[in-house]
Amino acid sequence: MRNVFTICGKELKSYFTSPIAYLLMALFGLIFGYFFFSATVFFVNAGMRQQLGGQSQPMSINEYVISPLLGNASVVGLFLIPLISMRLFAEEKRTGTIELLMTSPISDWEIILGKWLGAMSMYLCILAVSAINVALLFAWGRPDWRPILTGFLGLILQGGTVLAIGTFISTTTKNQIIAGAATFSVCLLLWVLSWVSSYNDAPWAQAVAYCSILTHFEPFSKGIIDSKDLVFYISAIFLGLFLTSRSLESLRWRA
Amino acid sequence: MIKVEGLTKRYARHVAVKNISFEVGQGEIVGFLGKNGAGKTTTMRVLTCFLPPTAGKASVAGFDVLDQSIEVKKRIGYLPETPPLYPEMEIATYLTFVAKLKGIPAGEVQKRVDEACERTAIADVKNTIIGKLSKGYRQRVGLAQAIIHNPPVLILDEPTSGLDPEQQREARQLIASLSGDHTIILSTHILSEVEQSCSKVIIINNGEIVASDTVSNLHNRRRATESVHIQVAGAPASQVKQRLEQVPGVASVESRDSSDTLVSFEVHSMENYAVRPELARAIVQAGWNLTELRPVGESLEEIFLELTKSETAAPKEKEEEAVAQ
């Protein structure tokens, strides 16, 4: 376990010694901030209109601001995550440092877990930027904190899934750009898979839509933790990391 | 300490190492000699558990590289051809990371890092970012990385390649200073390096071992007949030649380029005659000035070329290209 943390720490540090960490955090802060701004403006306007119209039914800040905001954050995540995962193995293969890792007395699984956890920590740092906006909601409103927590849990699980896939793709090439582009394409595909079910009710379309990572995120953003979504994400993470370990093993045999 | 039996490593399209066997005893420094693509790196990668062998067995300190790879890795320090460095890290941070990877207890890490820096003479630059170091310093950091956990076996892949002559000398001294406690295998294509620092030489060509012996035995192997270059000052060429031909054991004497004051010859001996002392005595007794007397054609270089010159006609794929895709 110590080896896992050693590698995890090294990965996280290397994000922060290059501009990539700050760039990603700034980008996410900017985009999330924009979505936050438009969602709250919409909420405030709609609330005022309601009051002027004489309706006194209270509007839920969770439903009108936080839920769509988290949904947007999950899509933004799909675009940013390939930039986190692309370097994990591709760079080590290009510079030859993979030889150091693979000839050190540690198992492949420790390398993979360490790298994935390092990337996860980076992703958590990015998500943490949005805490500023959420704190503002708490400062001037009374949102329910439980759906927010489940929403972030969903974001973490979804991020973990995409990172696991990205880690696997990163082991297949020496070129970071290729790893990044391929991960991005897969992310995009996993996102749009859910669209199938909107125009087709056939069982196969349901099955395809089930594979979309966004389908499983929606319940989380509404405050629902469904065991089927948990199982989906956790098994997808495991699959991604398992493929990574196979790929690393094959690297030894093919090299 | 290291035992290799019938080791074969096959890549997709070519065989890099064919059925090689050798043994290295404790404390020995073995030079792995061969041209580029001969199979040196592949053999080393098998020994360090980076690549599994296609066939055959290899063990380090009694542990099999395939079945007990973690145990093997604990006992090996490995410097690959390009030192595995993270350019964005400082030397001290990098070595700390490696020390932890190699399983050094947390309390000892700092001490070992300092020790490794001390031994490789990088203590004064240890807060420098690796990306800014010169090639020579990078090589030293690579070596520090290999010795940090004080492994009984060191495997160094071309430790002096790309260094300037001064740095090469320093690197050789460094390796020699490590020799006491460690069993060392180093690969190189610089022959003088092997002569200076290795107790044993393994010459590998096209994936096969063509010679495995001590440096002095390799020299003796070709010494059945001797060729000697002689230069004499202040004497007429014909007289000197005549005198040399009279020395017992001399088979032939050939004139080499001569100037007014200096005359040169190449003398070939008959089998099993050591003619050099007699030649020197003959010249001196005749009252001439002997300015040079040296054996010809016995350098390791010639032995190496002789042993590896066969089968070079077939085009070979470069081993490095097939590696770590």
Tens digits of per-residue pLDDT, B237-268? 888 888 888 888 888 888 887 777 888 888 88
| pLDDT at B233 (0 to 100) | 85
**Domain endpoint, select from B203, B220, B237:** B220
Q: Dihedral sign, CA of A7, A9, A13, A15?
A: positive
User: Which domain-ending residue is among B181, B199, B220?
Assistant: B220
Q: Is A14 touching B (CB cutoff 8 A)?
A: yes
Does residue B129 have a pLDDT over 90?
Answer: yes
The reply to whether B190 and B239 lie within a common domain is no
Whole-angstrom Cα Rg for chain B? 24
CATH number at residue B289: 3.30.70.3190
CA separation for the pair B204, B209 (Å, rounded): 4
Instruction: Give which of A146, A162, A140 is closest to A70, Cα–Cα.
Output: A146
From the list A118, A234, A103, the residue with the least C-alpha distance to A170 is A118
Closest CA to B7 of B217, B222, B208: B208
**What is the model's pLDDT at position B299?**
65
What is the structure's pLDDT at B273? 76
Alpha helical stretches, state H, chain B: 40-47, 69-74, 91-101, 106-119, 135-147, 165-178, 191-197, 215-221, 237-245, 276-285, 300-308
Q: Does A249 touch chain B (CB under 8 A)?
A: no
Is the pLDDT assigned to residue B191 strictly greater than 80?
Answer: no
The per-residue pLDDT of chain B, averaged, comes to 83
In this structure, the number of other CB atoms found within 10 A of the CB of residue A144 comes to 13
Tens digit of pLDDT for each residue in A133-190? Answer: 889 888 888 888 888 899 999 999 999 999 999 999 999 999 999 999 999 999 888 8
Q: Give pLDDT, residue B220.
A: 67
Q: Are residues B196 and B245 in the same domain?
A: no
In a domain, B93, yes or no: no
Kindly tell me if the per-residue pLDDT of B315 is higher than 70: no
d(CA A118, CA B109): 22
Q: Is residue B94 part of a domain?
A: no
Do B12 and B39 have their domain in common? Answer: yes
Do B56 and B20 fall into the same domain? yes
Tell me whether residue B110 is in a domain: no
The tens digit of pLDDT for each residue in A11-57 reads 999 999 989 999 999 999 999 999 999 988 988 888 888 888 877 67
pLDDT of residue B310: 57
Q: How much is the pTM?
A: 0.83
Cα nearest neighbour of A98 on chain B:
B84
Q: Is 60 exceeded by the pLDDT of residue A198?
A: yes
CA distance A193 to A207: 10
Residues B161 and B271 in one domain: no
- Could you say which DSSP state residue B90 is in? B
List CB contacts (< 8 A) between B76 and chain A: 103
Last residue of a domain, one of B189, B220, B251: B220
Q: What residues of B are in contact with residue A255 (Cβ under 8 Å)?
A: 45, 50-51, 322-325
In a domain, B121, yes or no: no
Model confidence at B221, pLDDT cuts 50, 70, 90, reads: low
In this prediction, residue B319 carries a pLDDT of 42
Residues A152 and A228: beta-carbon distance below 8 Å: no
Least confident of B74-78, B160-164, B221-225: B221-225
- pLDDT confidence of residue B224: 62
Q: What is the pLDDT of residue B111?
A: 94
Res A239: pLDDT: 95
Query: B156 and B289: one domain?
Result: no
**pLDDT tens for each residue of B263-312:** 888 888 887 777 888 888 888 888 888 888 887 765 666 777 777 775 44
| CB within 8 Å: A100 and B87 | no
Domain count, chain B: 2
The angle formed by the CA atoms of residues A105, B158 and B140, to the nearest 5 degrees, is 70
Pair B227, B208 in one domain: no
Please answer yes or no on whether A96 and B145 come within 8 Å at the CB atom: no
User: What residue has token string 């045999």?
Assistant: A253
The predicted-structure confidence for B170-188, as pLDDT tens digits, reads as follows 888 888 888 777 899 988 8
Which range of residues forms the domain containing residue B177? Answer: 2-75+151-220
Residue B263's φ and ψ, nearest 5 degrees, are -125, 140
CA geometry: angle at A101 spanning A95 and A107, to 5°? 150
